[in-house]
Amino acid sequence: MKILLTGATGYIGKRLLPVLLDEGHEVVCCVRDKDRFPTEGIYTDPKISLFEVDFLKELPSSEDILEIDAAYYLIHSMSSGKSDFSTLEETSARNFIKLIKPTSAQQIIYLTGIANEKDLSKHLASRKNVEEVLGESEIPLTSIRAGIIVGSGSASFEIIRDLVEKLPVMITPKWLKTRGQPIAIRDILKYLSGVLLRKETFGKAYDVGGPDILTYKEMLLQFAEVRGLKRYIFTVPVMTPRLSSYWLYFVTSTSYRLAVNLVDSMKVEVIPEQNDLDEMLGIKPIPYKKAVELAFQKIEQNNVISSWKDSLASSYADNSLLEHITVPTDGCFSDKRLKKIKGDPEKVFQNIWSIGGTKGWYYGNWMWKIRGYLDKLVGGVGLRRGRTNPNTINTGDTLDFWRVLAADRKNKRLLLYAEMKLPGEAWLEFKILEKDGENYLQQIATFRPVGLAGRLYWYAVLPFHFFVFDGMAENLTLEHPKP
């Protein structure tokens, strides 16, 4: 069968794709920019084709996707900071319906949130609205509704992990008493693939969850048990939503925007209503503690397929990031280093490919940590996002407080764009060049200032740049870099 997959570079989409391929399906991946789609591993499978579309802009012709059998709608904007995100999500859903209306699709499958409570958060209300919009289509809709998803790289998993591993004692908001029914990512994938073109699921919605009904406090404590940690948690009624958001923001790797949205949603109980989907598909949901154990198996094997941190919200109106792939020169400051490679250039390339995260930045890591801490203090992302995999990297991934704009193995080039708080814009580029039979590492840091503040900032950090950038370039050229 031929399947259309939206959100193909998102957290769920990246995990569902190999499942669909293993089942023998052809998959058309919807992407806003073909150049951001990974080019290694399973992404080279001949059963994959790309369809470039932005559901918030003018739609392309449906001619190339006319013969699809079903379509997955996996577009969400949990991390979007736009105040009108619900309008954007509705627009995206309506455009999706317009796009696939002329096709031969027999089914739409939508992953959404459990929304059984009367008072919903803005995001749950928006997702419920999207479900209603998709349900208006002539093409039958199957909705899979889930609460907290437990899996390596999921937002909720990584936030719980940060809290448990960093805080022996927690003074927490009262919403930690809110109940939910967490579900393993493996089960989510089984449900999503299991309902594919099953006619008995057409026009129906299914709440799904694991076998355990737990409060957030119980989730934290059971997570600690799996990790062999002793933790103490005390809930207090005095934490406002704003304080709760700051608490999550400073302790975990989440952005402040996402923290606000999570706190808003965490006050709502997400208990699934009973249905016959487990029996129909022969699924026995995985218990919470087992799901945590399975997630850490993936982490320890360096086999985390996707992370919420790497996903750019597909229903996010500002696509300006895609315009930064060409590094500007006019009105910019730059720091250029060209270092001769004396050893194996392939090993130097691997050094570049492993930069950031636990590996660090090859010189002055303590200074990078201070810069990350200062960024966090002024509302930036800081260094806590790390990287999803220590040895592989793809265009679109996060890398500490950078975003990967280009990860070009063929041309041995890595281009990063700064997502830290700056009075301007910054790029960091690494490339291996060959000249007169010799190999060189070219490293260029570019800064485009905004106003006087931007220029003052550049000159203020210039002395640090001299040592950091030169030391980093020098160490990168070594086959065995200094720690």
In angstroms, the CA 266 to CA 278 distance is 26
Q: CATH code for 2-310? A: 3.40.50.720
Report the candidate in 61, 157, 141, 154 with the shortest Cα–Cα distance to residue 108.
141
The answer to whether domain 2-310 and domain 320-476 are alike in fold is: no
Residue 205 sits at φ, ψ, to 5 deg, of -125, 140
Q: Which helix (H) or strand (E) holds 183?
A: strand 183-184
User: What pLDDT sits at residue 311?
Assistant: 58
pLDDT at 389: 79
Q: How far is CA 239 from the centre of its chain?
A: 28
Q: How many CB atoms lie within 10 A of CB 465?
A: 14
Predicted confidence (pLDDT) per residue in 116-165, tens digit: 777 777 778 888 889 999 999 999 999 999 988 998 877 788 888 888 88
Which region among 189-193, 249-253, 429-433, 445-449 has the lowest average model confidence (pLDDT)? Answer: 249-253
For 405, the 3-state DSSP assignment is strand
Percent above pLDDT 70 for the chain: 88
Distance set, CA 21 to CA 31, 71, 176, 481 (Å): 18, 14, 39, 39
Residues 386-425 pLDDT 10s:
887 777 888 878 888 888 888 888 889 999 998 888 998 8
CB 387 within 8 A of CB 306: no
Which amino acid, 174? K
Q: May I ask the CATH class of domain 320-476? A: alpha beta
Model confidence, pTM:
0.77
Please provide the average confidence, as pLDDT, over all residues in the chain. 85
Give the integer Cα–Cα distance in Å for 302 and 354. 13
Tokens at 26, concatenated: 């052809």
Predicted confidence band at 39 (pLDDT cuts at 50, 70, 90)? confident
Residue spans per domain, the chain? 2-310, 320-476
pLDDT digits (tens, 9 = 90+) for 226-251: 999 999 988 887 766 667 677 677 77
Q: What is the dihedral of CA 99, 104, 107, 110, to 10 degrees?
A: -20
